[in-house]
Amino acid sequence: MLIVIAGWLSAVLVFSSFFMRTMIPLRTVAICSNVSFIAYALLGLKYGVFGRVYPILVLHAALLPLNVVRLRQQKELIRAVHEASEDETSRALIPYMQTETRAAGAVLFRKGDPADQLYIVQRGRVRLPEIGRVMSDGEVFGEVGLFAPQHRRTTGATCDGDCRLHTITRDKVLELYYQNPQFGFALIRLVAGIVERQAAVEAAARA
């Protein structure tokens, strides 16, 4: 019977998902699984068992759009980090970031603090006093300590006026790195570019 075939196919797809090592194949298999389960539940109408399988229809009808959205976000992120400029790559991170507002004078972190977040300035100015830099709209900071061996801040950061910031935790960055190796390599290039640019600015200032 078709309903039996659909049921077994759905089970095989769910089983296969546990072998996916990265997120894009996992989301793809999950979408196929959602479609298969929906078909399985709808076939219940034909075979008179819909009353027993309609919760499956509700569950996978809800999961399908969620998986489609997440898959599209992942693909857009990878495309952005390969094709876009540094600023565009930074903006591609924003869907995965939290947004917070800080008042003027707020201390985001001090030199030597554990480095557990990367920041993008959405609006306002952030001062890094130890190196005499001011970060403004669209700029990334906090990335050096995030990837340093000791995961410690090499400078402090204070809001130079009211600020609105995008933040992403180190754990989330690592999660994205392991889910998408291509994104991971692109992120390394992004951070390396930021560090290189900062080093060039500091060298010019000393000269």
Same-domain status, 79 and 93? no
Position 127: which residue type?
R
Domain's final residue, options 40, 60, 83: 83
Residue with tokens 């599209």: 72
For residues 95 and 77, membership in a common domain is answered with no
- pLDDT tens digits along 97-125: 899 999 999 999 998 898 888 898 999 99
20/61: higher pLDDT: 61
Distance separating alpha carbons of residues 182 and 180, to the nearest angstrom? 5
Q: Is the pLDDT of residue 149 over 90?
A: no
The region of weakest confidence among 56-70, 154-168, 176-190 is: 176-190
Check residue 15 and give its pLDDT.
84
Average pLDDT estimate for 157-163: 94
Whether residues 129 and 37 fall in one domain: no
User: For the chain, how many residues are written?
Assistant: 207
* Residue range 48-76: mean pLDDT, rounded: 88
The interaxial angle of helices 181-206 and 170-179, nearest 10 deg, is 130
62 and 110 in one domain? Answer: no
Average pLDDT over all residues of the chain = 82
- Let me know whether 54 and 156 are in one domain: no
Handedness of CA 52, 54, 57, 63 (dihedral sign): negative
Q: What is the dihedral of CA 140, 187, 117, 65, to 10 degrees?
A: 110
**Would you place residue 84 in the very low, low, confident or very high pLDDT band (cuts 50, 70, 90)?**
low
* CA R_g for the chain: 23
Number of domains in the chain: 2
Give yes or no for residue 18 having a pLDDT over 90: no
Its domain, for residue 102, covers 86-206
Which of 10-24, 127-141, 191-205 has the least mean pLDDT?
Answer: 191-205
Contacts 24+ apart (CB under 8 A), 73-82: 74/23, 74/24, 74/27, 74/179, 74/180, 75/24, 77/176, 77/180, 77/183, 78/24, 78/180, 78/182, 78/183, 78/186, 81/182, 81/183, 81/186, 81/187, 81/189, 81/190, 82/182, 82/186
User: How many whole angstroms separate alpha carbon 74 and alpha carbon 57?
Assistant: 26
Which stretch, 3-7, 74-78, 153-157, has highest mean pLDDT?
153-157
Q: Using an 8 Å Cβ cutoff, are 82 and 186 in contact?
A: yes
Instruction: Give the 3-state secondary structure of residue 109.
Output: strand
Per-residue pLDDT at 200: 66
Residue 143 sits in a domain of what CATH number?
Answer: 2.60.120.10
For residues 152 and 148, give the distance between their C-alpha atoms in angstroms, rounded to a whole number: 7
Over residues 67-94, mean pLDDT: 73
Looking at residue 202, its pLDDT comes to 64
Residue 50's pLDDT is 81
